[in-house]
Structure 1
């Protein structure tokens, strides 16, 4: 986006004012399309939508759209100044008030700079609910930002912190703090609460820009970080030239602590060889070895030293268990247990039925359609998802032929499962390193799709490896990758040769042969015995499966934080492992009979016998499918009826039902139909089982069903 230098004399095209006050109205700029605008006047206009990319037009708003909005505003009179050009309207549907942005500020309207960018007039603006004023009357308070005295009566100019009981703030002080700190550092000045505080301030009309803090944008803000620590801190330094003497190579090269980086040692002073540079300062070693992260490694090595005496002193709570089993048992005791259905129901309660986000997507280009939607508009993950599929001619399909939400998430997960973001077998995938996808934020979006699919009743992912799930649930430091997590042939060959070494000379030969790779992986070290190969292989696996993809993993984990999914995974790992690491259970005739409830006709006298006959046909048909004697499959029938080829993790909403299609006059229904929005399968009233089976096979097998794993 290009713009000219500021022109203080030019007026904003929306509000017709030439005030240049960034704190109140946003930055005023004259752009290369000849339009002068206040930033807040632009983004808060009710009829303006961001149809371009961030670098297109003016902050993604196309000039042609801005001119249309200006033309629309010329017909609307401001309810404050009585002049035309009021482009902002109250969000409340029944309210007809319109106003300019500066007029709204003067009238104490509320503008929410988040979500749908809602605006509220002076009559319908949100207010803070606090205890009666008498409660605060006998105590004096100060603004938590400027420390000046403040009236403890909530109003437009006085706000109360949602996280601290007795914290009050001036609106103007909070706004200046938000503009200075930015989204990443704006928090309560008393308790440092970020999420709850930001959410309440945004609701009350505080603009929190998505930018770095002002102190980070100063010139040479991080100058001190450019100086590498160069000092030997061991108790007895052996260097004759002093503790601060350092060489780039040799025994006087300084190595820093691998944990804190603020303590160092000469290689010679800590008897380190040149290629082994991992060193822990005494302070960090004392902390780390007492932490839970390394406790089990210490315990395991201690067991090996004690040998058979361990069984004599083993804990009575874990009798006759191996060391690994005892480790798993104690780990499980650290986490709460709860049925997965209850957890998912709680997550689902976040969905706001009053806010709807609509996706218009093409089944053949589902991922790009999803990205296009979220690129131009902030996605509220708690809103109700409404999906409309488009055919190849970009015409909408008939609604009754689709259950859009379930199929939408199923197609997205199928796309991710076969994308370059993951590698491995169909049922055990780890993250793959794709630099382009990382640069474009695809890993974050993948995590967000996982979270939304689970909460909105979609399909459970079911294709992650146990190693990747353990990284999410317990942290990468606790995960232990195995050879099954590696699919690269070259690496498998290297690991196989090192692991298969039968002599120390052979092991040293392979270490020398693969020195380049081991150096890049941070695994290159001298080997003194044949037993060193086990630790070497373990380090190679850790690098390839975990450390190599650490950046994609962090972005993927950030996406999973949506709707509190990651928090619940870490709290209830055993409950979620079935959703992420195992594919849905194989469908059987017994599951199908329990899955569908039958709606019999109310006119039992004439139709009960006919419907009972069709149910017998239905059960016989399911039995033939299970025995492989029918053309259709359980997955195809489920897709035909509900739009999903597997039972979702949170069950169906509504529950699947079976209805009957009786003859309507002269019209005879020969083939089954479905209403996917209601998860309803309608069966034809065939007179013989042969006719019933033929009609079911023909309809289900000839219905377009996306190819899924």
Structure 2
């Protein structure tokens, strides 16, 4: 097998090993516990010569792989059907890494997104989904291009509008469109033949794929299962209307079924409702996802790690430490008094975060995150940089007090200097 492996020198050792695992596992690892190994071949700078570098005593790490590939291409000779005793002591490594979502999406972006390619998009906040679909329908639409967003009627502040906020808002609108139905956060595909003919399921897939390719959120709202009909053990307990509905779903024997047959009926009903009745819609939807660099094929190969991105899988709330790590504080360096006032405010900010953690504020860390960044959860690949905690001075000549504010496009939160106490800042 010959393949091109693109490795970013900013990656960690874990990301390097995960990238190799993702590349090779689809070809060699077919069964549980089955393993394969590989030998690194290093190229001599300014020549075509290859050699097997000495294996470190502790075995190869991702960091060492980066080091030997620093001055040229890295070639990997793969071995499969090797036993552990055969490979032991040789210049090869048995790959046992697991692949995480971060590694998969970073590799996908590196191979599919062109940072130098831009597409300028102007949309109205009151009709974001329609504006986004107009972009997708353009003959020259390319998911690889980075969108540069501007909102109609809003004065530019010197920064591009945040791409993450743009995608979060259009995917929220998409959840209420004709392609999905069900309770918020627990959605199914609709069986809408008009939408199917108009390729709306395809467009929905493209929007989700476009968002993930550009570092935005996933849909995060698909229901992982139907309601728990299997808890019923006796057909006599079902209402006549429910029996009629089950019969119309292609299971007419429901009326005469006994208790032993209920699990099988439930299984067939779930399959019909979730998949069979909307097979064409699902096919069109995944076709749209695959139009973005084969994204759906990648999701299928690593469906477990993509569950939090595609479904309403429970999310752990942000912890105090996770939230604090998102920030860097921009203190003044030239004025001692300003610095003292800023340190006082920063201390009150710390107190407020503790109150949020303890449930003593009227908002959560997720609410704060949305206010500051436009994203209601951490993006799959994180933010492009830290959030800057900045400060401003109140103008004594103004009657109105200027409230804390954020610039989501530049990831900045502004707090007033010299606050008297945490309660005032809160």
Which band: TM-score by shorter chain?
0.5 to 0.7
Q: In the alignment, what sits opposite 1:540?
A: 269
Question: CA offset at residue 604 of structure 1?
Answer: 7.3
Q: In the alignment, what sits opposite 2:201?
A: 443
Question: CA offset at residue 400 of structure 1?
Answer: 5.2
Task: Measure the CA separation in 2 of the matches of 1:529 and 1:684.
Answer: 70
Retained in 2: the 8 A contact 1:336–1:572? no
Task: Measure the CA separation in 1 of the matches of 2:308 and 2:121.
Answer: 29
Identify which of 362, 368, 372 aligns with 1:637. Answer: 368
- Does residue 523 in structure 1 map to residue 251 in structure 2? yes
- Does residue 463 in structure 1 map to residue 214 in structure 2? no
- Alpha carbons of 1:496 and 1:626: their partners in 2 closer, same or farther (altered >3 Å)? closer
Task: Measure the CA separation in 2 of the matches of 1:570 and 1:541.
Answer: 20
Ranges of 4+ aligned residues in structure 1 off by more than 4 Å:
525-530, 604-607, 662-670
- Does residue 406 in structure 1 map to residue 164 in structure 2? yes
Task: Measure the CA separation in 2 of the matches of 1:545 and 1:663.
Answer: 57
More strand by share: 2
| TM-score normalised by the chain length of structure 1 | 0.42
Q: In the alignment, what sits opposite 1:661?
A: 392
Task: Measure the CA separation in 1 of the matches of 2:210 and 2:121.
Answer: 14
Question: CA offset at residue 552 of structure 1?
Answer: 0.8
- Alpha carbons of 1:403 and 1:640: their partners in 2 closer, same or farther (altered >3 Å)? farther
Q: In the alignment, what sits opposite 2:297?
A: 567
Q: In the alignment, what sits opposite 2:71?
A: none
Retained in 2: the 8 A contact 1:381–1:452? yes
Q: In the alignment, what sits opposite 2:210?
A: 452
Q: In the alignment, what sits opposite 1:678?
A: 410
Identify which of 83, 97, 100 aligns with 1:339. Answer: 100
RCO (CA 8 Å, sep 6+): is it higher in 1 or 2? 2
> Structure 1, unaligned stretches of length 5 or more?
1-162, 164-291, 293-334, 468-481, 485-491, 698-709
State how 1:163-182 maps to structure 2 within 5 Å: none
> Structure 2, unaligned stretches of length 5 or more?
4-30, 32-95
Q: In the alignment, what sits opposite 1:422?
A: 180
Larger radius of gyration: 1
- Does residue 594 in structure 1 map to residue 356 in structure 2? no
Number of residue pairs matched?
328
State how 1:285-434 maps to structure 2 within 5 Å: 337-349=98-110, 350-390=112-152, 395-399=153-157, 403-434=161-192
3-state secondary structure, aligned to 1:376: coil
3-state secondary structure, aligned to 1:420: coil
How far does the alpha carbon of each residue in 1:622-650 deviate from its partner, in whole angstroms, 9 at most, with x for none?
A: 22334444455433432332122222111
Retained in 2: the 8 A contact 1:409–1:453? yes
- Alpha carbons of 1:690 and 1:525: their partners in 2 closer, same or farther (altered >3 Å)? closer
Retained in 2: the 8 A contact 1:347–1:564? no
Identify which of 604, 607, 625 aligns with 2:356. Answer: 625
Retained in 1: the 8 A contact 2:159–2:410? no
Retained in 2: the 8 A contact 1:345–1:650? yes
3-state secondary structure, aligned to 2:343: helix
Task: Measure the CA separation in 2 of the matches of 1:690 and 1:530.
Answer: 62
- Alpha carbons of 1:631 and 1:525: their partners in 2 closer, same or farther (altered >3 Å)? closer
Task: Measure the CA separation in 2 of the matches of 1:529 and 1:645.
Answer: 48
State how 1:477-492 maps to structure 2 within 5 Å: 482-484=226-228
Retained in 2: the 8 A contact 1:400–1:675? no
Retained in 1: the 8 A contact 2:389–2:415? yes
Question: CA offset at residue 688 of structure 1?
Answer: 0.6
Question: CA offset at residue 583 of structure 1?
Answer: 5.3
